[in-house]
Amino acid sequence: MGQQYKPSQKALIVEDDVELRSLAAALLEETDLDIVEASSGEEALHYLHHHAGEVAFLFSDVKLPCLMDGVDLARTVRLKWPWVRTVLTSGAPLEDEHEKALRDVRFMPKPWRALDVLVEAEKATRQTIQ
């Protein structure tokens, strides 16, 4: 009959450090996800307002430039787009109040392991297919 159309799913990487963002993008190119990069929470939120239906995975640093940090971004995503699997990463541990508020958000300390990031991305693709 023909092939079943599978809409593209995207991974949104939010990191202000260009080298780390490029590393995460190169790693996630090994998945079935298309990669979108942002350098701030505001830039990511702008993208999500227009393309949230395509985003399956958000991988964001906690410390970001501008007003919105990664925790604010994760909270907003969990409220507006709960299907987006969200992972926060940082070189410092999450503060207790942030950890409690972000129950459905995975935290990965830096330096993160490539396998851990790939496992989370794979979970995101399986989650949106079901």
pLDDT greater than 50 at residue 113: yes
Retrieve residue 51's tokens.
């393309």
DSSP secondary structure letter of residue 54: G
Nearest one of 45, 50, 108 to 72, comparing CA atoms? 45
Token reading at 86:
């969200």
Decide if 49 contacts 42 (C-beta within 8 A): no
pLDDT at residue 100 in the model:
66
* pLDDT score for 5: 43
On the question of pLDDT at 127 being above 60, the answer is yes
> 79 — phi, psi (to 5°)?
-75, -45
Beta-carbon contacts of residue 57 (< 8 Å; ≥ 6 apart): 9, 10, 11, 12, 28, 33, 84, 85, 86, 87, 120, 121, 124, 125
pTM: 0.90
33-91 per-position pLDDT tens digit: 999 999 999 999 999 999 999 999 999 999 999 999 999 999 999 999 999 999 999 99
The overall average pLDDT reported for the chain is 90
Say what the pLDDT of residue 101 is: 66
